[in-house]
């Protein structure tokens, strides 16, 4: 089992939560394949929209990948991408700033944003558990 952080605008995350799926790297198949059934995913949303809207800098969803292979689906009208089915948990939004000094993968807080430039990256369970607690979720 692995623990992942995906990066997406909050509006896109909400759509995935509503419809029970996750997409990574703008729907790339290889990114969806990296997440296996049983893996955990937390989404970090820098902004409300993609390159627009209010800055959030918060974790906005947390859940576990369901069984099955990635499948193609429509992202927006006439644009498809690869998704993974998810079981999203009820959670509150969690500001990233109180967590930065506690993450093992953030070695230089003054450049913390560079760690979140990837669309999807794995983190140790302990770091993921910090996110879960901040979101009001208890990991099994």
**C-alpha dihedral sign at 34, 43, 77, 67:** positive
- What pLDDT, in 10s, does the model give residues 46-103? 998 776 777 899 999 999 999 999 999 987 777 789 999 999 999 999 999 999 999 9
What is the CATH code for 3-134?
A: 3.10.590.10
Residue 35: the pLDDT is 98
Rg from Cα positions in the chain? 14
**CA dihedral in degrees (15, 20, 24, 28; nearest 10)?**
-100
Arithmetic mean of pLDDT over the chain: 93
The full set of domain ranges for the chain reads: 3-134
Query: Cβ(29)–Cβ(122) under 8 Å?
Result: no
Q: Where are the beta strands (DSSP E) in the chain?
A: 3-7, 21-23, 40-49, 52-65, 71-76, 79-88, 94-95, 120-123
Measure the CA–CA gap between 111 and 96, rounded to whole angstroms. Answer: 14
CA 139 – CA 125 distance, rounded (Å): 10
- What pLDDT shows up at residue 48? 85
Q: What is the pLDDT of residue 75?
A: 75
Poorest-pLDDT segment among 31-40, 60-69, 111-120:
111-120
């Amino acid at each position: 089992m692995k623990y992942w952080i995906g990066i997406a605008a909050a509006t896109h995350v909400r759509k995935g939560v509503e419809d029970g799926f996750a997409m990574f790297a703008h729907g790339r198949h290889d990114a969806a394949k990296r997440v296996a059934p049983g893996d955990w995913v937390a989404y970090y949303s820098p902004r409300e929209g993609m390159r627009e809207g209010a800055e959030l800098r918060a974790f906005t969803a947390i859940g576990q990948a369901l069984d099955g292979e990635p499948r193609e689906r429509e992202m927006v009208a006439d644009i498809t991408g690869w998704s993974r089915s998810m079981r999203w948990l009820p959670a509150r939004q969690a500001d990233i700033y109180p967590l930065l000094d506690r993450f093992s993968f953030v070695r230089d807080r003054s450049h913390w944003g560079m760690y979140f430039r990837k669309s999807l990256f794995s983190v140790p369970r302990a770091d993921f558990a910090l996110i879960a607690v901040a979101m009001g979720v208890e990991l099994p």
